[in-house]
A and B are shown apart, each in its own frame.
Chain A
């Protein structure tokens, strides 16, 4: 698998993601500068976490005007795998590659903590090595992660199985308290932590799998997401 990690001005998880893809997953990995317009050598493109353009105006609003985003639209249309983590998820929503938006957490705080995620759809290219209902332990670090979509869109996402990960308790159950639900750390609608597009080849998630891909970091649960992508690329060849 040939993987690319996009570097926007203000990306700060680009090197962590590069490290995991190249050293842990074993993919041939390169950085992609935000001004690049040719992604044809890549199988997987990752938009890493960070604060592209200082989160000015709205998180991801300026980054989505980068030249690389136009190329990314073509790349995704051709079926290439795209993964947006945290700020990358925000950029994908702003760019229209994923539906909905990410608003300020209901607690108004920047939340940096470990969370539990329930795998809702294990049939995507990013989750094929996981099983439905499996609980992953992966950290979050964001202030704008409350997933929002209009009611009809939300229903559509649920019906199409586009909700891939949901915030949950360690036992996999949902925290259904309306207010101050610690297991839905940002107040996301339907506890949504990650979604895919209708075709299933574009994933956006607020938690950081690259921060949970090695034993030394106390969880390897995130690695399965990258390994699934690796397997999907291998199978497509």
Chain B
């Protein structure tokens, strides 16, 4: 078993209105950031995961996203899986 650091990014689907992103965009423009556009507000979910391999970790995170972390009707997701040093090395 190895440990992995997982970051899941969930954002409103690109083809849907994101009122929060719109409000933030307007606020940025009011602050003078005239070049800011296409603002979307989503969420970042981080976790550590025990899995036999990186491939298996990928598969598990994909399943987590499909079953719970994102709602396909309203949200898109992407994720990164990075190996963590073995516990002994970390305590080292």
Query: In terms of DSSP, what is the predominant structure of the interface of chain B?
Result: mixed
Q: Does B85 contact A (CB under 8 A)?
A: no
Q: Does B68 contact A (CB under 8 A)?
A: yes
Q: Does A100 contact B (CB under 8 A)?
A: yes
* CB proximity of A106 to chain B, nearest CB, Å: 5
* CB proximity of B10 to chain A, nearest CB, Å: 9
In the complex with contacts A101-B73, A101-B74, A149-B73, A61-B19 CB distance below 8 A? no
- B12 contacts which chain A residues (CB < 8 A)? 103
Q: How far is the CA of A236 from the CA of B71 in the complex (A)?
A: 36
Q: Does A57 contact B (CB under 8 A)?
A: yes
The answer to whether B74 and A148 touch across the interface, beta carbons within 8 angstroms, is yes
Give residues 45-76 of A contacting B (CB, 8 Å): 57-58, 61, 65
A61, closest chain B residue (CB): B68
The answer to whether A104 and B19 touch across the interface, beta carbons within 8 angstroms, is yes
* CB proximity of B73 to chain A, nearest CB, Å: 4
- A148 contacts which chain B residues (CB < 8 A)? 16, 73-74
Q: How far is the CA of A57 from the CA of B44 in the complex (A)?
A: 11
Q: Does B20 contact A (CB under 8 A)?
A: yes
Sort chain A's interface into a size bin. Answer: 10 to 19
Q: Mark B58-92, 1 if CB is under 8 A from A, else 0.
A: 00000000001101011000000000000000000
Q: Does A235 contact B (CB under 8 A)?
A: no
In the complex with contacts A58-B71, A148-B73, A103-B16 CB distance below 8 A? yes
Query: In terms of DSSP, what is the predominant structure of the interface of chain A?
Result: loop
From A103, A105, A107, contact of B74 by CB (8 A): A103
Q: Does A94 contact B (CB under 8 A)?
A: yes
Q: How far is the CA of A103 from the CA of B21 in the complex (A)?
A: 13
- B73 contacts which chain A residues (CB < 8 A)? 93, 100-101, 148-150
Q: Does A216 contact B (CB under 8 A)?
A: no
- B68 contacts which chain A residues (CB < 8 A)? 57, 61, 65
From A65, A94, A106, A107, contact of B71 by CB (8 A): A94
Q: How far is the CA of A187 from the CA of B19 in the complex (A)?
A: 10
A93, closest chain B residue (CB): B73
A-B contact pairs, 14 of them (CB 8 A): A57-B68, A57-B69, A61-B68, A100-B73, A101-B74, A103-B12, A103-B74, A104-B19, A104-B20, A106-B17, A106-B19, A107-B19, A148-B16, A149-B73
Interface residues, chain B, with chain A CB atoms under 8 Å away: 12, 16-17, 19-20, 23, 68-69, 71, 73-74
The 8 closest A-B pairs by CB, nearest first: A101-B73, A101-B74, A106-B19, A103-B74, A108-B19, A101-B71, A148-B74, A58-B71
Interface residues, chain A, with chain B CB atoms under 8 Å away: 57-58, 61, 65, 93-94, 100-101, 103-108, 148-150, 187
